[in-house]
């Protein structure tokens, strides 16, 4: 990708980088707070907590703005007939955020397992009694789902191009459009659209296929091992 192309795709790339920086920045802030506390408590806990909240709000706002700009850009590029741009932007957002969603899922799964272990499984029974727990879970899940919308809208434009160029039937276009809004399936669908319909991104598709295949094989292995035992 040359310098001009990098500038052209600045919005998708910036969204990938900013969204993926959430976990590293949080860890860096925690380490900073630990260093401050170890060095002599130069700053009060209230100040550190307030600082984190302010930074988090600014980060979420920046992610929101970039997400909206990407969605608007997707419609503009469709109006300009830039099918390759929409395809590449879709792949940039879909593939670029695979690691983010894996880390996101792993972090929340680990937290859930720790809480279940600490409560000896009683946390599950607490959900009907304390709707707040369910609301928090839905808020986290919904927030994570919102993060895939910019890539999904670029995917929608790709599907629209596929329909206009008669590469997709009406029924398959609807199916591909729906898949753009579901975790896991959206990336696999983007892989299919790029390789099968446009013949592009074969090397990156192979890499993503391996990234998906390894965890799937590990999960299958542990499931079979547990089932047999």
pLDDT beyond 70 at 161: yes
Which residue has better confidence, 65 or 135? 65
**Per-residue pLDDT, 5:** 46
* φ, ψ for residue 35, nearest 5 deg: -65, -45
Of the two residues 38 and 92, the one the predictor is more confident about is 92
Say what percent of the chain tops pLDDT 70. Answer: 74
More confident residue, 120 or 83: 83
Q: How confident is the model at residue 4 (pLDDT cuts 50, 70, 90)?
A: very low
pLDDT at residue 69, rounded to an integer: 96
- Look up residue 48 and give its two tokens: 């550190």
Q: Residue ranges per domain, the chain?
A: 3-97+147-228
For the segment 136-141, the average pLDDT, to the nearest whole number, is: 70
Residue 38: the pLDDT is 57
Cα separations in angstroms, 120 against 105, 113, 123, 153:
22, 10, 8, 42
CB-side neighbour CA atoms (13 Å) of 213: 6
Report CA 82 to chain centroid distance, whole Å.
24
Average pLDDT over residues 157-166: 94
Is pLDDT of 203 > 50? yes
Buried b (16+ CB within 10 A) or exposed e, 52-85: beeeeeebeeebeebbebbbebbeebbeeebbeb
Please determine, for residue 221, whether its predicted confidence score (pLDDT) is greater than 90.
Answer: no
- What gap in Å lies between CA 94 and CA 158, rounded to an integer? 13
């Amino acid at each position: 990708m040359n310098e001009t192309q990098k500038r052209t795709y600045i919005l998708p790339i910036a969204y990938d980088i900013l969204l993926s920086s959430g976990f590293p920045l949080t860890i860096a802030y925690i380490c900073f707070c630990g260093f401050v506390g170890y060095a002599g408590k130069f700053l009060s806990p209230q100040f550190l907590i307030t600082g984190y909240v302010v930074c988090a709000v600014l980060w979420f706002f920046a992610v929101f703005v970039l997400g909206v700009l990407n969605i608007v850009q997707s419609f503009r590029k469709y109006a300009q007939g830039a099918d390759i741009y929409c395809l590449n932007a879709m792949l940039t957002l879909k593939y670029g955020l695979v690691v983010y969603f894996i880390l996101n899922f792993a972090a929340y799964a680990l937290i859930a397992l720790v809480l279940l272990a600490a409560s000896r499984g009683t946390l599950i029974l607490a959900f009907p009694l304390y709707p707040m727990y369910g609301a928090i879970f839905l808020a986290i899940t919904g927030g994570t789902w919102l993060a895939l919308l910019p890539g999904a809208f670029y995917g929608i434009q790709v599907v629209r191009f596929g329909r206009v160029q008669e590469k997709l039937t009406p029924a398959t276009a609807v199916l591909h459009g729906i898949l753009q809004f579901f975790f896991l399936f959206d990336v696999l669908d983007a892989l299919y659209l790029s390789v099968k319909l446009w013949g592009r991104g074969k090397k990156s598709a192979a890499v993503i296929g391996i990234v998906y295949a390894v965890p799937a094989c590990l999960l299958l292995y542990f499931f079979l091992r547990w089932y047999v035992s």
